[in-house]
Amino acid sequence: MPGVHRLGLATCYKIPICFMLKSWHRSVGIFAAVFLLLLTVTGTLLMQTDDLELDSRYVNNERLLDWYGIHPAPPPISFSVDGHWITQLGSRIYFDTRILPQIDGRLIGVIAVGDELLIGTTSSLVLVTTNGIIAEKLGPESNVPTGQTHLGHAPSAKVLLRSPSGQFIFDPESGLIKADATTQALAWSGSGSVPQSVLEVINQDYRGAGLSLERIVLDLHTGRLFGSIGVVMINLASIALLILIISGAILWRVRAREKNAAS
């Protein structure tokens, strides 16, 4: 449409393409403003992650956890020794209400060994102090039999292990494990029902430890919190901002030409 740039702004608005451009600029601006505000707020929060400790603060809202597919904890496996509860939820093992890190396998038993507790799993033996500190951890590299099924006391204060490959005696003092087919256990470690007060705390930890505030803010920033639709909306908002810049520049140029022509 030749000569449009010579027209005044008021005249330009009477031309369909200019009227449409103004209408688009206004509508797109409202749409983009909402997402620009969201991106600005979430971007600012992400820049302050360390100061706000967003990466170490966790969310326990049930609806959010369900939305992220973080389901309630599975039934616990618990053993009580000397007033302490050792409990397994999923792949995590807790000393009372505190998680014990990097312990593999399924919990099979817990017994007292001197001033410490011996935790047995299907693939490891772990000595823990009464303060819940891991003192020693033994695995297959220390000849711990794989697939252990039972942990118990043997005569002479030794520890008896049972697995599909046979029965073994573990000496906590030396750390040696040797086969033994004759010794009978005085008592095998038996599971129990963890107190509800303890279970509530570790259930909350189990379900909430996978959802930090940083992840929620980041997913809001990228739109992933709302799935594929959210990502599409953020992409559309980016395009809208580009349209807003172009249309704004065109309208500004027309206004500038009008002022120049008037002067």
CATH number of the domain residue 131 falls in: 2.130.10.10
Rounded Cα–Cα distance for residues 29 and 139 (Å): 62
Q: Please report the pLDDT score of residue 128 as a whole number.
A: 96
pTM value > 0.85: no
- Same domain for 135 and 248: no
- Same domain for 197 and 112: yes
Whether 28 maps to a domain, the answer reads yes
The total number of structural domains that make up the chain: 2
Whether 36 maps to a domain, the answer reads yes
- Same domain for 190 and 92: yes
Whether 119 maps to a domain, the answer reads yes
Rounded Cα–Cα distance for residues 176 and 158 (Å): 11
Whether 84 maps to a domain, the answer reads yes
Q: Please report the pLDDT score of residue 21 as a whole number.
A: 61
Whether 37 maps to a domain, the answer reads yes
| pLDDT per residue as tens digits for the range 217-253 | 999 888 888 888 878 877 877 787 777 777 777 767 7
- Same domain for 93 and 188: yes
Q: What is the mean pLDDT of residues 117-131?
A: 95
Which residue do the tokens 């992933």 mark? 224
Q: What is the DSSP letter of 56?
A: G
- Same domain for 246 and 137: no
Rounded Cα–Cα distance for residues 9 and 1 (Å): 15
Provide the 10 A C-beta neighbour count for residue 54: 18
- Look at residue 7 and tell me whether its pLDDT is greater than 60: no
Say which residues have a Cβ less than 8 Å from residue 185's Cβ, sequence separation at least 6: 150, 152, 153, 154, 160, 162
Which residue do the tokens 């007292």 mark? 112
Q: What is the mean pLDDT of residues 118-139?
A: 94
- Same domain for 188 and 170: yes
User: What SS3 class is residue 197?
Assistant: helix
Which among 190, 208, 226 is the end of a domain?
208
Q: Domain of 201?
A: 77-208
Rounded Cα–Cα distance for residues 185 and 165 (Å): 17
Structure tokens at 212: 């930090």
Whether 15 maps to a domain, the answer reads yes
